[in-house]
Chain A
Amino acid sequence: MNKVDEIKQISGVNPLKCMKCGKCSASCPSFNEMDIKPHQFVTYVVNDDVEALANSKSAWKCLSCFACIERCPRNVQPGKLIDAARQILIRQRGQEGLSADEIPALLDEDMPQQLLMSAFRKYRR
């Protein structure tokens, strides 16, 4: 599987649904720190340019606040793409985060698990 398909598979997102409205970028608290903006992230995936994403700062600047996921009118949800890119990078570096049996004790029932995973991935690097 190539990288783009891997991103699509991990995120479950079809980036072609994006209508380029920019609501993600408008919502993003880390916008100014990002070299590739959230809405551009989608375009990069569409254009098969995963290399650039991997080398960007953005992947690590996303706070996983999920505002873009909440608000995206087209279910494209760039946050998921960014998270997927991050996951691919981590896998490449051979860094698995926590071991599976450590997790349950740490869980708060009310917290979205995806957010947790995303945060773990990010801050343990």
Chain B
Amino acid sequence: MQELIVRAKELLASGQVARVLGWKKGEHSYDPEVAFFNDAESLQDFVYDGFCGANLSKYMIEASKLEGKTLVFLKPCDSYSFVQLMKEHRVDREKAYIIGVGCWGKLDVRKLGAEGILDVEIAGDVLKVSSLYGDSEVAYKDAMLERCHVCKGKEHKVFDETLLESADTVDLDRFAEVERIEAMSPEEKFAYFQSELSKCIRCNACRNVCPACSCRKCVFDSTAFNSEQKANTTSFEEKMFHIIRAFHVAGRCTDCGECSRVCPQGIPLHLFNRKFIKDINRLYGEYQAGADLEEKAPLTSFQTDDAEPGADRR
């Protein structure tokens, strides 16, 4: 972590960058927040560890409007989001100095299984949790976010330089959960999603954190479709919202997993996006959004012999 601070200070001092976008120490060891650092002094609060899960690429939309370059730290998976945003002209590559930082899996405080957590010490493969109600130890792996278990790779897709080594974290099949649901009967599927979506409070955290949901004005906030809605009065509204949300990012979603990370109700929102990713891979060839700046997106291209809608219905 120190080398990140040192490098950031150098770049600030040389005038190459006007500010630094990174993570700042929180109240506790497990709640760092996203922050802009404008000078060397403020960098003393800079932090980069397993709890820095936030994807900083979306903040670069606003940072691109600022004077001068912004130094941004991107984890490998964040760099996909950044490329996708570049592809959509939402960020300005010229305004970014990108340090690709290594990643060895990010943590989910909810998975520590403790109440009243006061401090978490990351000691290699083990997390030492001290809480109001006693101390415990959790294996790093067991507290990792779902997305890290199915990581799409530790290679940065865009960077000016890289720092810190990554470690492989994949130990689960990315599509296993989608397949499990696909195998259910329509009644079971319906019951499953009904139960999950009934929790939705329409707080829009999933939408607002999503680097692909970068619309200046979301359709669900605008009158464009006569579809603006804030109420969660019936189960339909959540379905409409979540289907369309996933559809709008289909072929653009890099599967960064931020939506599921931030949902206050713990709804596995990535299962919507990943369903589309799985379908796209199966029907139109392997496609990873954000992997390539030039590649045509699956929904803005076609083959003349594409599958017919509903072709694989029984």
Q: Do chains A and B touch in the complex (CB under 8 A)?
A: no
Which residue numbers of A lie inside 8 Å of B, CB to CB? none
Which residue numbers of B lie inside 8 Å of A, CB to CB? none
